[in-house]
């Protein structure tokens, strides 16, 4: 095995029978794996190799695939030509580690902006502007994935998902004219903005400390309330409703939402969010299947019929 990987984290060198060894957790597009580097008794030389790269770097690894305690890992033996060394950014492309949306981000952003322009409520207009007129925010929003591993886990995935959810909500206002269109669109567009904070995207997609300790739902709701409080005369009531739509968009506590949807528009955002995530997964599992069998297996969806 001789391939390049992105470094997720590493554990410092320690002694073993024949010298010093260390562990590195690395990833490529297909997942994570642990690498064990078995070095000689010369501690300084092992430490040099260990110090030569950091989290987020890309390294070339030459070693053997083995298993330990029932989990696969890569064993790198320094004496028999094994290698763990950083690689120049010229030697790989980001696409080796993190995928990108198949759609053009600028075009998607344009479509999302056309939804934003439809909103007539001046408070909500100002709320959306506070985010989407901020170039720094828009840059991050366009890069962010929709998840680490479940759906739309690629650069641009958040934008792609947000656009789909907003399209669906926009359509539903025709079928159900009693829905408050402005509130619904604002909720759809902003429902996942916490993911800008939750995920960190370098050579791999990872969850930030903030994402782990608070999560995108709470972080997103706080971004909303913070922004509302900075807008003069923003109605208290509307602020709470916007925050509630973010907090409840996973539908129930077991799925991470501290509140269940408590008004129609909150329910619609939850349903449209789930709908896009589910359909995207079904289509992807079916599309990626490479088999002469009529069934493809997905850990989350079970067996999918290809016939």
Which 62-101 residues touch a copy of itself, going by CB under 8 A?
65-72
For a copy of itself, the closer of residues 138 and 285 by Cβ is: 285
Q: How far is the CB of 44 from a copy of itself (least distance, A)?
A: 18
Tell me the closest approach of the beta carbon of residue 122 to a copy of itself, in angstroms. 19
Q: Which residue, 9 or 149, is less far from a copy of itself as judged by CB?
A: 9
Structure tokens at 287: 């599309």
> What is the rounded CA–CA span in Å between residue 274 and residue 240?
22
Q: Is 212 in the site for a copy of itself (CB under 8 A)?
A: yes
- Please tell me the distance from the alpha carbon of residue 79 to that of residue 61, in angstroms, as a whole number: 14
> What distance in Å separates the CA atoms of residue 74 and residue 37, rounded to the nearest whole number?
8
Q: Which residues does residue 180 pair with via DSSP β-bridges, in sequence order? A: none
- Position among 11, 103, 118, 300 found at the interface with a copy of itself (CB under 8 A): 11
Note whether 110 binds a copy of itself by CB under 8 A. Answer: no
Closest-CA residue to 216 (of 187, 190, 254, 252):
190
Cα separation, 270 vs 250, in Å, equals 6
What is the bridge-based pairing of β-strands 31-38 and 71-77? parallel
**Of positions 145, 268, 269, 273, contacts a copy of itself by CB under 8 A:** 268
By CB atoms closer than 10 A (0-12, 13-18, 19+), residue 126 is middle
Question: Residue 77 forms beta bridges with which residues?
Answer: 38
Contacts (CB under 8 A) with a copy of itself, residues 12-41: 12, 14, 25, 30-31
Pick out residues in 133-172 that bind a copy of itself (CB under 8 A).
Answer: 164, 167-168, 171-172
According to CB under 8 A, which one of 244, 249, 269, 273 is a site residue for a copy of itself? 244
Q: Which two tokens stand for residue 257?
A: 């939402």
Taking CB under 8 A as the criterion, the residue among 232, 287, 288, 299 binding a copy of itself is 287
Question: CB under 8 A: which stretch of 37-45, 90-98, 106-114, 235-243 binds a copy of itself?
Answer: 235-243
* Cβ(76)–Cβ(84) below 8 Å: yes
* Nearest distance in Å: CB 88, a copy of itself: 22
Q: Which of residues 169-198 bind a copy of itself (CB under 8 A)?
A: 171-172, 175-176, 178-179
């Amino acid at each position: 095995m001789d391939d390049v990987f992105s470094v997720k984290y590493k554990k410092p060198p320690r002694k073993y029978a024949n010298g010093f060894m260390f562990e590195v957790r690395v990833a490529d597009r297909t997942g994570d794996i642990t690498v064990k580097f078995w070095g000689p008794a010369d501690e300084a030389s092992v430490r040099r190799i260990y110090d030569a790269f950091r989290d987020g770097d890309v390294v070339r690894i030459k070693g053997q695939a083995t298993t330990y305690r029932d989990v696969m890992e890569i064993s790198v033996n320094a004496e028999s030509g094994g290698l763990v060394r950083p690689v120049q950014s010229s030697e790989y492309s980001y696409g080796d580690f993190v995928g990108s949306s198949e759609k053009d981000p600028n075009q998607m952003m344009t479509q999302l902006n056309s939804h934003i322009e439809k909103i007539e409520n001046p408070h909500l207009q100002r709320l959306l502007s506070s985010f989407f007129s901020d170039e720094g925010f828009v840059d991050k929003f366009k890069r962010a994935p929709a998840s680490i591993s479940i759906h739309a886990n690629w650069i641009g995935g958040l934008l792609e998902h947000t656009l789909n959810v907003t399209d669906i909500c926009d359509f539903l206002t025709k079928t159900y004219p009693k829905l408050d269109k402005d509130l619904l669109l604002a909720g759809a567009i902003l429902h996942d903005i916490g993911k800008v904070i939750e995920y960190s995207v370098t050579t791999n997609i990872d969850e930030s400390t903030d994402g782990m300790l608070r999560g995108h739902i709470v972080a997103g709701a706080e971004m909303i309330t913070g922004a509302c409080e900075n807008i003069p005369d923003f109605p208290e009531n509307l602020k709470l409703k916007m925050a509630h739509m973010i907090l409840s968009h996973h539908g129930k506590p077991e799925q991470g939402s501290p509140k269940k949807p408590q008004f129609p528009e909150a329910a619609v955002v939850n349903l449209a969010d789930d709908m896009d995530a589910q359909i995207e997964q079904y289509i992807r599992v079916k599309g990626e299947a490479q088999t002469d069998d009529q069934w493809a297996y997905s850990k989350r969806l079970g067996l999918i019929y290809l016939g």
